[in-house]
Structure 1
Amino acid sequence: MANHKSALKRIRSNEAKRLRNKYQHKTTRNAIKKLRDMDKKKDAEKLFPTVVSMIDRLAKRNIIHNNKAANLKSGLAKHVASL
């Protein structure tokens, strides 16, 4: 158990950040799945910038690696172009 005030505060803030990161990551993964399941090019092109923005935000905050973000965006761009 933590013995210092600062350690207790760190535990609380770490938990809050963990939950926020988990929520954002799961939301992004659901958006990616939704985009991959789309059949209409028009709808996919409308959703694509939003999903890319979400992926970039995760990479900026070090929730996912920059290269993983680049690979995801590349794959989604190919998928949208192939519709």
Structure 2
Amino acid sequence: MWLNEHEQTLRRDLQGLASDLRWSAVELLRIAEQLRLSGNDVDAEAVRRLCDLFQGDEQRLAGYAEEVKAKIISRNKPE
């Protein structure tokens, strides 16, 4: 089944946001490692917890994008 223009845009937006979260988590992990190496284990752990949240959100958004593709979620016009 083909996606309409609005669904294609929604899917692209969801995929883009998921990708942004993924790369943000990668950068935050790099920062967490630098914090750990500088002896700031408390802040490093806090940043790692943020990464876990970002990764969970990234997976959820990617799942929504797949639901749009499968027509489980649809959009007729943007609001």
Q: TM-score scaled by structure 1?
A: 0.54
Q: Which has the higher contact order (CA 8 A, sep 6+)?
A: 2
Secondary structure of the corresponding residue to residue 59 of structure 2:
coil
Unaligned runs of 5+ in 1: 64-83
Contact 2:28 2:48 in 1 (8 A): yes
Identity %: 0
Please give the alpha-carbon distance, in whole angstroms, between the structure 1 residues aligned to 2:34 and 2:50: 19
Please give the alpha-carbon distance, in whole angstroms, between the structure 1 residues aligned to 2:57 and 2:18: 12
Aligned Cα root-mean-square deviation (Å): 2.3
Q: 2:51 matched to 1:54?
A: yes
Matched with 1:78 is none
* Structure with greater helix share of residues: 1
Unaligned runs of 5+ in 2: 61-79
Matched with 2:19 is 22
Give the count of matched residue pairs. Answer: 58
Q: TM-score scaled by structure 2?
A: 0.56
Q: 2:8 matched to 1:40?
A: no
Shift of 1:61: 4.8
